[in-house]
C-alpha cells in the first residue's frame, strides 16, 4: 500500500504480538505442525525447509539475490547464494531499509503498514506459499508491495497470508530495495555503474527471474506467471510492462492504482544525486567511500531533505530514460512491448481522499495545480472551479483533483497504451465506500487490497461488516485471470474486455456492473492529457 508510512518495530524481534493486535500471526499458520520430509525441497541453491500452513506450505525468507551490502551497495542484484545442507525458510527475511513512522492521522492504514521483520540492507528475499511442492504446475501470482517506493515489505497484512492456497495458486511476495538504496541515480558519475536509478526495479526483475528458474520445483508453472501490485507496486508493474529486461518473465499483469508515468527524468535524478553526494561528503566516482557511509546516514538523506516530483511523490523513485526504464513507458507499451501479456488495470473511486480528508483543513500543502496545468489548456481558475463543483468542501475538491491527476488519468492512459500495443485489457474501478470516519473517505486508496486477498479482518480500514460477497468475487476474478488469462465475469455480471469503442469499465460495489467510458467525467479539464482524446 502506498501511504508511505510504517509503524515502529518492537525492540524485540522475537516478541509475539498479543492476540487481536495488528501484528498478530495470521490464523492460517499451523504453529503445531511437525516438520517432515514433505517440507524440504531441493532447488539449485540448496535445500529449503518450509512449514505447514492451512491448505499448503510456506517457504519464507528465500534469498533470490546476493545481499546488496558493502561493495555491492548500489550495484545491480547479484546471483543468489548457494548453501550446503538444509536452509530453514520458516520466517520472512529482513525488510528493506526505510523510515519507520507511526502513520499518525491515518489509522485506517495502521495495520497494513506494520512491517513483519526488522529493516536491513540485506533485504532481497521472497516468500512462496504453495499448495504443495510437487509437479502440478499451478498458476503463479507474484505480488509487488506498495509504499511509494519508499516503504513497505512483502510480509505485511493482508498479502502475507495463505488466502490463495485453497484456489490451487502459488503466491510469491517479494522485498526490493527502496528510496535512496533503490533509486539513487549514479550511472553518469560512477565508473561501471549500471541501472542505479532503478535498482529497485532490477530487484523485481531478479525476483521474477528466480521464479522462472525455480517455481516449478515448488508446485508452480513458470509459463503462467501473473505479476500484480498496488500503488507503487502498480507503478512497478506498469514499468515492467515497458522494460525490455522483464520480457518473457510473466504473461499476465494486474495494475492496481498505478500508472507508467510516475517517474523522474535523468537530469533531475542526477542533480539530486549531486546534492546527496555533497551532503555525505563523497566525491563522484568514489565507490569505496560510498560503500562506507552508514546505512542510517544514507536513509536520513532520503527523508524530507529534497523536493519530491512534480506529482508529489518522494525524491527517489523510478528514473526514466536511463539504461533500464524507457523515457516514455506508455509510448513503449503502445508500440507493443507488452503485446504478449494480458492485463487488468484499475483504480478506486476516491483514491486520495484518505490523505486529504483524514487531516484538518490546511494541514497539508495545497495540491500542485500548476504542474497539472502544464499539460492542459485551461486556466487555474477554470481548473479549481471545475473541482469545486464536484465537491461540497475545499478538502473534497482537492482530494478529487489529486485522485484524477495522480490515478484516474494515468490509469486511463495506461489502458489505452496497452490497447494500442495489442494487449488484451480489462479495466475496473473499485467503488465500495468504507464506512470508517463516517464514510467521508469513500473508496479510498488501497481499499481494494484486502478484498483481493479475501482478508477482511481490519475494522479500522473496512468497518465492522465489510461485504464478504465483494471479496469472493474480486478474489475469484484475480484467480480466474491468473488461471485462464481472461476475465469473463465478476460474480454474475459479465466483464467485457476493454475496447477503443466502448472503453468498458467494471464498477465494483455491492451491485457491480460494466459501464461505458467513465472517463467522460474527466473531459471538461483533462481532455488534452488523455491519450485517447488527443
Which residues does the annotation mark as catalytic? 231, 351, 445
| Alpha-carbon gap, residue 26 to 315, rounded angstroms | 35
Report d(CA 13, CA 35) in Å as an integer: 23
Instruction: Please state, in angstroms and rounded to a whole number, the distance separating the CA atoms of residues 7 and 23.
Output: 10
CB 153 within 8 A of CB 117: yes
46-49: strand order across its sheet: 40-43, 46-49, 86-88
- If 0-12 CB within 10 Å is exposed, 13-18 middle and 19+ buried, where does residue 437 land? middle
**517's torsion region: left (phi>0), alpha (psi -120 to 50) or beta?**
left
Q: How many residues does the chain have?
A: 534
- What are the CA-CA distances from residue 315 to residues 135, 146, 198, 283, 511 (Å)? 44, 16, 13, 21, 40
Please name which of 353, 364, 443, 330 lies closest in space to residue 406, comparing C-alpha atoms: 353
* Contact in structure between 48 and 130 (CB atoms under 8 Å): no
Biggest distance spanned by C-alpha atoms of the chain = 69
Helix axis angle for 380-389 and 394-403, nearest 10°, is 110
State the DSSP code for 121.
Answer: S
C-alpha cell at 512: 457491480
Cα 31 from Cα 455, distance rounded (Å): 20
**DSSP collapsed to 3 states, 195-226:** CHHHHHHHHHHHHHHHHHHHHHHHCEEEEEEE
Locus of grid cell 525455480: 214
CA-based nearest residue to 495, from 483, 480, 510: 480
Give, for 384, the enclosing helix (H) or strand (E). helix 380-389
| Cα–Cα distance list, 295 to 58, 140, 148, 448 (Å) | 31, 34, 20, 34
Cβ 315 vs Cβ 307: under 8 Å: yes
Amino acid at each position: 500500500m502506498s501511504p508511505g508510512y510504517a509503524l515502529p518495530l518492537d525492540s524485540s524481534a522475537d516478541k509475539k504480538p498479543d492476540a487481536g493486535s495488528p501484528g498478530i500471526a495470521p490464523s492460517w499458520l499451523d504453529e503445531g505442525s511437525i516438520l517432515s520430509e514433505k517440507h524440504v525441497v531441493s532447488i539449485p541453491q540448496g535445500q529449503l525447509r518450509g512449514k505447514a500452513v492451512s491448505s499448503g506450505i510456506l517457504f519464507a525468507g528465500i534469498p533470490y539475490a546476493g545481499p546488496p551490502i558493502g561493495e555491492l551497495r548500489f550495484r545491480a542484484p547479484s546471483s543468489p547464494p548457494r548453501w550446503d545442507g538444509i536452509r530453514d525458510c520458516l520466517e520472512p527475511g529482513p525488510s528493506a531499509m526505510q523510515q519507520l513512522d507511526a502513520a499518525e492521522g491515518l489509522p485506517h492504514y495502521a495495520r497494513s503498514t506494520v512491517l513483519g521483520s526488522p529493516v536491513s540492507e540485506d533485504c532481497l528475499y521472497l516468500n512462496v506459499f504453495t499448495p504443495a511442492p510437487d509437479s502440478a504446475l499451478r498458476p503463479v501470482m507474484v505480488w509487488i508491495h506498495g509504499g511509494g517506493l519508499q516503504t513497505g515489505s512483502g510480509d505485511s497484512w493482508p498479502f502475507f497470508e495463505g488466502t490463495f492456497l485453497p484456489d490451487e495458486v502459488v503466491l510469491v511476495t517479494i522485498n526490493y530495495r527502496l528510496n535512496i538504496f533503490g533509486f539513487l541515480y549514479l550511472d553518469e558519475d560512477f565508473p561501471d555503474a549500471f541501472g542505479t536509478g532503478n535498482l529497485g526495479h532490477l530487484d523485481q526483475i531478479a525476483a521474477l527471474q528466480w521464479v522462472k528458474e525455480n517455481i516449478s520445483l515448488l508446485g508452480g508453472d513458470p509459463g503462467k506467471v501473473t505479476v500484480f501490485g498496488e500503488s507503487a507496486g502498480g507503478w512497478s508493474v506498469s514499468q515492467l510492462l515497458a522494460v525490455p529486461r522483464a520480457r518473457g518473465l510473466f504473461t499476465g499483469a494486474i495494475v492496481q492504482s498505478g500508472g507508467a508515468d510516475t517517474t523522474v527524468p535523468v537530469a533531475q535524478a542526477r542533480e539530486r544525486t549531486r546534492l546527496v553526494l555533497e551532503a555525505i561528503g563523497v566525491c563522484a566516482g568514489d565507490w569505496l567511500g560510498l560503500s562506507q557511509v552508514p546505512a542510517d546516514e544514507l536513509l536520513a538523506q532520503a527523508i524530507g531533505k529534497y523536493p519530491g516530483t512534480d506529482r508529489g511523490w518522494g525524491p527517489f523513485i523510478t528514473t526514466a530514460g536511463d539504461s533500464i526504464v524507457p523515457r516514455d513507458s506508455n509510448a513503449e507499451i503502445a508500440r507493443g512491448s507488452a503485446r504478449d501479456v494480458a492485463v487488468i488495470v484499475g483504480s478506486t473511486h476516491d483514491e486520495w481522499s484518505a490523505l486529504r480528508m483524514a487531516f484538518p483543513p490546511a494541514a497539508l500543502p495545497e495540491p500542485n495545480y500548476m504542474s497539472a496545468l502544464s499539460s492542459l489548456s485551461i486556466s487555474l481558475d477554470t481548473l479549481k472551479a471545475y473541482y469545486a463543483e464536484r465537491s461540497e468542501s475545499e478538502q473534497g475538491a482537492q482530494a478529487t483533483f489529486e485522485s484524477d491527476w495522480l490515478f484516474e488519468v494515468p490509469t486511463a492512459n495506461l489502458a489505452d497504451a496497452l490497447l494500442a500495443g495489442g494487449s488484451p485489457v480489462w479495466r475496473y474501478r473499485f467503488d465500495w465506500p468504507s464506512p470508517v470516519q463516517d464514510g467521508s473517505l469513500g473508496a479510498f486508496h488501497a481499499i481494494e487490497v484486502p478484498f483481493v486477498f479475501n482478508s477482511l479482518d481490519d475494522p479500522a480500514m473496512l468497518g465492522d461488516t465489510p461485504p464478504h460477497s465483494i471479496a469472493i468475487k474480486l478474489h475469484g476474478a484475480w484467480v480466474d485471470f491468473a488461471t485462464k488469462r481472461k476475465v469473463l465475469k465478476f460474480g454474475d455480471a459479465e466483464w467485457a474486455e476493454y475496447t477503443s469503442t466502448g472503453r468498458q469499465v467494471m464498477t465494483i460495489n455491492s451491485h457491480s456492473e460494466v459501464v461505458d467510458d467513465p472517463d467522460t467525467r474527466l473531459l471538461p479539464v483533462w481532455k488534452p492529457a488523455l491519450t485517447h482524446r488527443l
